[in-house]
Structure 1
Amino acid sequence: MTKDKFTIVIPTYNGANKLPKLLDRLQQQTGLENQQWEILVIDNNSHDNTAEVVKTYQEKWGENSNLKYYLEPEQGSAFARLRGAREAKGELIGFIDDDCIPAPDWIAAACTFAAQYPQAGAFSGQIHGDFDIPPPPDLEFKKIQAFLAIREHGNNPLKFNPDTLNLPPAAALVVRQQAFSNSVPPRPVLVGRVGNSMLGGEDYELLLYLHKAGWEIWYNPAMHSYHHIPQNRLEKQYLLTLAHACGLATCHLRMLNASPGQKPIIFTKTLLGNLRRWLKHYIKYRGKLDNNLIAACENEFFWGSLLSNWDYLTKDK
């Protein structure tokens, strides 16, 4: 008896050079002999030959290909994921970024976990760094690797705490179709990094809606994927900008599920809490930030979190 479908959704922007490696790996998935599944490439207005790359793979895989292509004209990774969810036929939707390569048993491990944890509306696994050059040897690099969507929480399942924004990234994330369709609104507040804006948080926004609807968010250590980190993403300026941008979404995220009466209280607590964190960190590392990359990144994250209140007030609602 054939099991329900599993849908892989790949949001991509100018991903022609990255998609072949990912598509090849997906075709090498194991343990799916009795599993119907499909791959959806959601092209978010690419200016390269992404469409041609997908067409080539469709022709190579033949008329029974499980690979489909969709163009999403509204810019932003949030819109690409929403489009993928609308087109998906699977009971489970696996969102995979075009620069993230899943292990051969990634889909099988996801299906097993979903059956064991029916209350999990979404779950992610171990996301390892696939570095072009070795990262800084300092063990403290682990403090900032989450900014690069690297997550390694050990070998035991655990439940994330959305109330503290303790959540997985969407680089390799599985969501139940039922949870998504019943919880996520058609228009996101945070759309992803578009143009010159580095404001993120759109993946957390999705998960916070699921949390509000009563679903749990879990970590499945049996799912492994490898996030490609090119050399430029280890450069100091990129890391500082990324850390600042991650912090900048803080107030937006804390306000998502708040009622009108709760918002002034949450706004004040967020402002004072972030001010305290930034001051404490800045005083501790004052005069050392130029020579301590880890401390400088943490400082930018705290500073961005503090400015998130202002960004929330000034962002078009």
Structure 2
Amino acid sequence: MPTKLTIAIPTHNRAATVRETLASIDALALPAEIDADCLVIDNASIDATAAAVDNFARDARLPVRRVFEPRLGSSFARNRAVDETQSELIFFIDDDAIAERDWAAKLFAAMRSRNLDAACGMVLPRWTSEPPPWLGPSLWVKLAVHDRQAIASAPVSSAETLDNYFSANVGFKRSAFERFGKFREDLGVVGGNPISGEDTELFARIIARGGAMGFAPDAIVHHMIPRERMTRAYLRRKSFAYGVGSAFAGGRNHNRLDKLVKNSIRMLAAMSRGDSERAIYHELECANFFGYWRGRLMKS
């Protein structure tokens, strides 16, 4: 009997890019043992998202369904997807990402062969314009995309880390949500709300409670990086927001005073030798530190 899979796309006001994502999902090469459908969570969109999805669904090869989630926020949208389907597997992809043709098959194979509760695949950058010279591979993690070359050249086990787990490309067994819970709704991006990291918190929770989570490097999506994300100001905001989110998430944290001191020194050293990429990296680590302590104050 085929395994039932739902591919979920949470989206907010991205009518243009979600069409591309849907087209890549509809073009997937799926093995016979997978019975797949596609679920779009329209997260309080006020643009042409509804029409774009409904028009695409009429001629799609895979069944495509749209549901409207009025509570704005990434966690609300993801949890609505879990509630809307009874499929054995739920794969999430972002509304500005393009799946390679064998993405779902590779993610499915990795989860089955390793008996994983959840698995994250490779997220490669899809630059909309030439990135600035300082935006080198060591900073890509701040954009939630992978450096494929670095991962390929390192020991396989080194990829099995929270730093490599991104929700733009993730698959779950339904039983994982039943065992470990869903995305925390007090975390997650909501407009300008600086509390992010709901995905990392869930991944860490699965691991901490004895779940099996892994990295599937052959399951690849290409994530759009627009020009406005290729700025130091954007990266500072994201790093600060992730710090705030980590404070709200609780648990062990490395944001002690020595982190600020070390990264400040390393930032100055990198600046002195003209290494702007590393200088900005350590600047962002400092922003994360300040975000964390801002979050602690917000909680108190």
Q: Same fold by TM-score, threshold 0.5 exceeded?
A: yes
Retained in 2: the 8 A contact 1:157–1:220?
no
Cα separation, partners in 2 of 1:193 and 1:31, compared to 1, 3 Å: closer
Q: CA RMSD in A?
A: 2.6
Q: Which amino acid aligns with 2:260?
A: W
Cα separation, partners in 2 of 1:284 and 1:204, compared to 1, 3 Å: closer
What CA deviation, in whole Å up to 9, does each residue of 1:15-36 have, x standing for no partner? 2111111111111111334421
Retained in 2: the 8 A contact 1:167–1:204?
no
- Provide the C-alpha distance between the structure 2 equivalents of 1:159 and 1:270, rounded to a whole number of angstroms: 20
1:101-112 equivalence runs, <5 A: 101-112=98-109
What CA deviation, in whole Å up to 9, does each residue of 1:232-278 have, x standing for no partner? 111222122222222333333342xxxxxxxxxx5xx7453xx2122
Matched residue of 1:246: which SS?
helix
- Provide the C-alpha distance between the structure 1 equivalents of 2:184 and 2:231, rounded to a whole number of angstroms: 34
Q: Mean alpha-carbon deviation: is it higher for 77-86 or for 204-213?
A: 204-213
Retained in 1: the 8 A contact 2:44–2:70?
yes
TM-score, with length taken from structure 1: 0.83
Query: How many pairs are equivalent?
Result: 294
1:286 maps to which of 250, 259, 268: 268
Cα separation, partners in 2 of 1:195 and 1:27, compared to 1, 3 Å: closer
- For structure 1, the 5+ residue unaligned runs are 256-265
Structure 1 residue 147: Cα displacement: 1.3
1:90-101 equivalence runs, <5 A: 90-101=87-98
Matched residue of 1:75: which SS?
coil
Cα separation, partners in 2 of 1:170 and 1:59, compared to 1, 3 Å: same
Q: Mean alpha-carbon deviation: is it higher for 278-287 or for 39-48?
A: 278-287
Cα separation, partners in 2 of 1:113 and 1:315, compared to 1, 3 Å: same
* Match in the other structure for 1:221: 217
* Match in the other structure for 1:7: 6
Matched residue of 1:197: which SS?
coil
Decide which structure has greater helix share: 2
- Provide the C-alpha distance between the structure 2 equivalents of 1:211 and 1:254, rounded to a whole number of angstroms: 15
The answer as to 2:231 corresponding to 1:235 is: yes
* Match in the other structure for 2:249: 253
- Provide the C-alpha distance between the structure 2 equivalents of 1:251 and 1:69, rounded to a whole number of angstroms: 34
The answer as to 2:152 corresponding to 1:170 is: no
1:185-200 equivalence runs, <5 A: 185=182, 187-190=184-187, 192-200=188-196
Structure 1 residue 215: Cα displacement: 0.7
1:303 maps to which of 261, 265, 287: 287
Retained in 2: the 8 A contact 1:95–1:172?
yes
- Provide the C-alpha distance between the structure 1 equivalents of 2:32 and 2:191, rounded to a whole number of angstroms: 42
Identity %: 26
Retained in 1: the 8 A contact 2:41–2:81?
yes
Q: Which amino acid aligns with 2:25?
A: L
Structure 1 residue 173: Cα displacement: 0.6
Structure 1 residue 121: Cα displacement: 1.5
Structure 1 residue 294: Cα displacement: 4.1
* Match in the other structure for 2:177: 180
